[in-house]
Amino acid sequence: MIQRYRTHLAFSFMALLLIIVGIGQSWSVSIGIFNLCIISAIMAMGVNLQWGYAGLFNAGVMGFTALGGLVAVLISHQPIYEAWSVGGTGILISLLIVIVASFFIFYVSKNIKSVFKKRFFIVFVILLAVIGLGNFYGPSIDLIEDVNPAKTGFLGGLGMPIVFSWIAAAFAAALLAWIIGKVTLGLRSDYLAIATLGISEIVIAILKHEDWLSRGVKNVTGLPRPVPYEIRLQDSEWFINIIEWLNSSKLSAIETVSGKQDLLNKLVIEGSSIYVKLCYAGLFISVLVILFFLSQLALNSPWGRMLRAIRDNEVAASAMGKNIVGQHLQVFILGSAIIGIAGAMLTTLDGQFTPGTYQPLRFTFIIWVMVIVGGSGNNLGSIFGGFFIWFMWIEAEPISIAFIGLVTSGLDYGDPIRMHLIASAPHMRLFIMGAILLITLRFMPRGVIPEKVVRPR
Amino acid sequence: MENYDLLNAIILLANFVIVPALSYGSQLALAALGITLVYAVLRFSNFAHGDLMAFGTMIAILITWLFQSWGLTAGVLPTALIALPFAMALTAGFCLLTDRIVYKFYREQKSQPVVFMIVSVGVMFIMNAIVRFIIGPKDRTFFDGEKFIIKAVEFKSYTGLPEGLSIKSTQVLTIVIALITMMMLFYFLQKTKMGKSMRAYSNNEDLALLSGINPDRVVMITWIIVGMLATIAGVLYGLDKSFKPFTYFQLLLPMFAAAIVGGIGNPLGAVAGGYIIAFSEVMLTYAYKKFFMYLLPTNLEPDGLMQFLSTDYKFAISFIILVIVLIIRPTGIFRGKTL
C-alpha cells in the first residue's frame, strides 16, 4: 500500500509542509520557497540525468548554474554602446584569436601523427595566441572598464527579453560540458568528478574577476523581469479592484473610510508581492513540466534503456556494440544544459547576478543530496528531492535556532556558551544536510521514490 | 652595485618564489598523501579530506588556546607545535569513529567506489558543520613565537645588497616537519611489517586476505595515518597562512590535482605532485617585472608586470596541469593505483 502510493504520499507531504509555512509564516514566504524549490527540482533533474541515468558524477553543478546566470545577464541587459565602441573590436579580435587557435590545435592533434611534432606545434600556437591576446585583450578590457565604472564598466548584453536566456543558457552550458566531457570522459570515473569540481571553481573565478564581462564582484543588478513590477501593480486600477473583491468581507467589517483605505493599501502591497511570485511560479512550472515530460520520454525510449544498460554493466553494453564514451558525452551535455537553464532561471528570479554568492556547498553538493534523497534514476524522485531538500535548507535555520533555544533554556541569557551556540545555529543546516544524506544512503539507498524497473511484457 | 644584479635577481626569486613554493608544496604534498592513501587502501576519492584538515587544525587551535591560557608556550617556536601531537591523536580517533559509524557499512556491502564518494560528501557536510559550529567560519591566525628567521632588513644590512631576503620561521618549520613526516611514512610503508601488509592489501585485497593479513587492521592503520597527515598538513598551512574553514575546503582541488598528477594511489607521486602544483602555481602567478629589471639592460626593461596569470586564477593552474597530465599520461607521472 505505502509502496504503491509512495509518490502521492511524498508530494502530499510536501504540499502540506508548504501550506504549514503559508499559514504559520506567510504566503509570500511560502510561494518564495516554492519558486526556489522548482529551480532546485530542475537542477536535480539535470543531475539525475547524469547520475541516475548514466552514473556520471558531476561535481561542478555550481559552474553550470553560474554560467546560466551569466547568460541571463548577457542576453537581457541593455548593450552599452560606449563600451563597445572603445573596446568592442579588441574583445572581438581576442575572441577570434582564441577560436582560431583552438581550431588549429584541434586540427593538429587530429591530423599530425608524430607526437613530438604535434606537441611542438601546439605549444607554438599557444605562445602565439598568448602574445596576440596580450596586445588586444589587455588594453581593451582596461578601456571598457573605464567607461562609467560606478554604473556599468562592462559590455552589457543584447537587450533581449530575459526568458530567451533560458534557452541560450542551455546551449552555453552544453558547450562547456562538451569541452569537459571530451577531456575527462573515458578516463576513470573519479577524474570527471575532480575535473568538474575544478571547472566550476574556474568559472566562478572568471566571473568574479573579469569585470568587462559581467562587472565581477560589483554585481549586475536590476535585470529586466519577465513579470510585472510590484510598484506598477499597486498603481493599476484592475489589480486594486481584484484585491478589493477578494477581501470584500474583511473590508466591509471596518466602519471608517480611512481605516478601510489603510487596510486596502496594506492588502494591495502584500497582494502585489504574492502576485509577482505567482507569475514566476507559473513560468517556472511550465518549464518544469516541459523538461519533466522530455526526460520521461527519454527515460522510456530505447535511448534511455541503452543508458541504463551502460550504467549497470559497461562491459556487456560495450560488447553489444554501444559506444560508451559517446553516450556518456551525450548525456553529460544534456544534463548540464538542464542545469544551465535552472541557473538562468535563478538569476531571472533574483533580478541580479552576484558571482560572490556561488558556493559549492549550496550549489553543487546540495543538489546531490536532492538527487540521492529523492531517488536516483527517477525524475519524480528528483523533483521531490529538490522540493524537500530546498525546503529543509531554508527552514533548517529557524528549526535549529528553536532547537538550540530549547536546549540552552536552562542557561542564563548572557551565558557565553549559550551566546556561542545561538550565534552558530545557522551552521546546523550543513549538519542536517549531511545527516539526511548519510541516513538516506544507509537505510534507503534507492531514495524516497525509487527508480521503477520496467520489464517488457 | 650593478655588479651584483644576478645575485639580486636570485635573491628576489628565492624570496618570492622558491621559499614560498617549497613550503606550500610541502603542505600540499602532505595533504595529497592523505588522499592517495585513502584511494589506495579504501579505493575511493575522499571529498571530505579538506574538511578533515580543517577539523584537525581546529583541534590544534583549541589545544593551543588551552596551553596559552595555562601560560605554556614553546618559546621561539609556535605553541601549536606542542598541541600538534594531541591534535593528531584526536583527529586520528575522529577518523576511526567516522569509519566505524559511516564507511564500515559500505565496505562490508562491497559498495562501488562512487557510492563511497557520495558518502564522503555527506561526511564532508557534517565535518564542515562541526568545524563552523565550534570555531566559526571566520579567518583566524594562531601563530605565536618568533616570526622570522631572517628579516629582510637584517639581511640587507648584513650583506649590503639592495634586495632583502626574508624567511619566515613557519616556512622553514613546514619544510623540516614535512620532510621528517614523509621520511617516517616512507620508512613505515617500505620497511615495517604493517606497512608492507598495507601495500599488499592495496595491491590485491583478496590475495592479502589469503596471506593472513587482517583487512580491518589495515583499514584502521590507514585511517590513523590519514588523520595524522591531514592534521599536520592543516596545522602547517594554518601557521603559514591562516585558518579559515572555506579555504581548507577550496584546497581540495590543488590537493586532488597533486595526487592525480603524481599518479593517484602512489605516495611518491603525491609528494612529487604536491611540489609540481605548488611551484607552477607560484611561478605562474609571480610578477617578474623586478626580476627582469635586474637582469636586462635598462633599455630592454619590460613595460608590464610580466605576470603570466593573475593570482585570482591560481585554481585554474592546478586544473590546467591536471588536464594536461590527464591528456598526455592518464595514469599520472608515477603510474598510480598501488602503494
What is the full per-residue pLDDT of chain A (457 aa) written as tens digits? 566 788 889 999 999 999 998 898 888 889 999 999 999 999 999 999 999 888 899 999 999 999 999 999 999 988 888 888 888 888 888 888 888 988 888 888 778 778 788 888 888 888 888 888 877 887 788 788 877 777 777 887 888 888 999 999 999 999 999 988 888 887 777 788 888 888 898 899 889 888 888 888 888 888 888 888 888 888 888 888 888 888 877 777 777 888 888 888 888 888 888 899 999 999 999 999 999 999 999 988 999 889 888 888 888 988 988 888 999 999 999 999 999 999 999 999 998 999 988 988 889 999 999 999 998 888 999 999 999 999 999 888 888 888 888 887 777 777 777 778 778 888 888 999 999 999 999 998 888 888 877 665 5
Contact B315 A198 (CB under 8 A): yes
Min CA distance, A74 vs chain B (Å)?
A: 22
Whole-angstrom distance, CA of residue B63 vs CA of residue B86: 8
- Taking CA–CA distances from B258, the nearest residue in chain A reads A194
Residue B162 carries which DSSP code? S
Q: Which three three-digit cell numbers place residue A209?
A: 574577476
Mutation to test the A interface, candidates B44, B104, B123, B133, most A Cβ within 10 Å: B133
Q: How far is A61 from chain B (nearest CA, A)?
A: 14
Please give, rounded to a whole number of angstroms, the shortest distance from the CA of A95 to a CA of chain B.
18
B70 lies within 8 A of chain A by CB: no
Instruction: Check CB contact of B327 with chain A, cutoff 8 Å.
Output: yes
Say if residues A343 and A65 touch (Cβ distance below 8 Å): yes
In chain B, which stretches have pLDDT less than 50? Answer: 1, 338-339
Beta carbons of B253 and A197 less than 8 Å apart: yes
Q: Do A437 and B121 touch (CB under 8 A)?
A: yes
Contact with chain A for residue B161, Cβ under 8 A: no
**Rounded-to-integer distance, Cα B69 and Cα B47, Å:** 35
Residue of B nearest to A189 (CA): B114
Whether the CB-CB separation of B252 and B49 falls below 8 Å is answered with yes
Q: How far is A213 from chain B (nearest CA, A)?
A: 16
Confirm if B224 and B95 have CB atoms less than 8 A apart.
yes
A57, A205, A427: residue with CB nearest B316:
A205
Q: Rounded to a whole number, what is the distance in Å from the CA of B201 to chain A's nearest CA?
A: 21
Inter-chain CB proximity B125 and A57 less than 8 Å? no
User: Are A197 and B316 inside 8 Å of each other by CB?
Assistant: no
In this prediction, residue B305 carries a pLDDT of 67
Is residue A151 packed enough to be buried (19+ CB in 10 Å), middle (13-18) or exposed (0-12)?
A: exposed
Interface of B with A in 206-245 (CB under 8 A): none
Contact A360 B133 (CB under 8 A): no
Q: How many beta-carbon pairs below 8 A join chains A and B?
A: 124
Distance CA A445, CA A452 (A): 14
What pLDDT, on the 0 to 100 scale, is given for residue B227?
A: 96
pLDDT of residue A366: 93
Chain A residues with CB inside 8 Å of B125's CB? 361, 365, 369, 430-431, 433-434, 437
Which of A395, A456, A453, A382 is CA-nearest to residue A38?
A382
How far is A83 from A156, CA to CA, in rounded Å?
A: 8
Instruction: Give me the residues paired with residue B243 across strands.
Output: B140
CB contact under 8 A, A430 and B260: no
Contact A56, A195 (CB under 8 A): no
- In angstroms, the separation between the Cα of residue B148 and the nearest Cα of chain A is 33
Write out chain A residues lying below 8 Å of B136, CB-based.
423-424
Asked whether the beta carbons of A56 and A34 are under 8 A apart, the reply is no
With an 8 Å Cβ cutoff, is A202 touching chain B? yes
Beta carbons of B129 and A193 less than 8 Å apart: no
DSSP string of B208-255, one letter each residue: HHHTT--HHHHHHHHHHHHHHHHHHHHHHHHHHS-B-HHHHHHTHHHH
Cα(B51)–Cα(B129) distance, integer angstroms: 10
pLDDT tens by residue, A104-152 = 888 887 787 787 888 888 888 888 888 888 778 877 887 888 777 777 7
Task: List Cα–Cα distances, A392 to A366, A397, B110, in angstroms.
Answer: 11, 9, 31
Quote the minimal CA–CA distance from A64 to chain B in Å. Answer: 16
The interface predicted TM-score (ipTM) is 0.89
Contact A209 B137 (CB under 8 A): no
**Residue A417 touches partner B, C-beta closer than 8 Å:** no
Q: Is B258 an 8 Å CB contact of chain A?
A: no
| Helix then strand then coil, % of chain B, to nearest 5 | 75, 5, 20
Is A202 in contact with B315 (Cβ distance < 8 A)?
Answer: yes
Q: Tell me the β-bridge partners of A185.
A: A187
What is the pairing mode between strands B148-150 and B167-168? antiparallel
User: Contact A201/B313, CB-based, under 8 Å?
Assistant: no
SS3 percent helix, strand, coil of chain A, rounded to 5, is 80, 0, 20
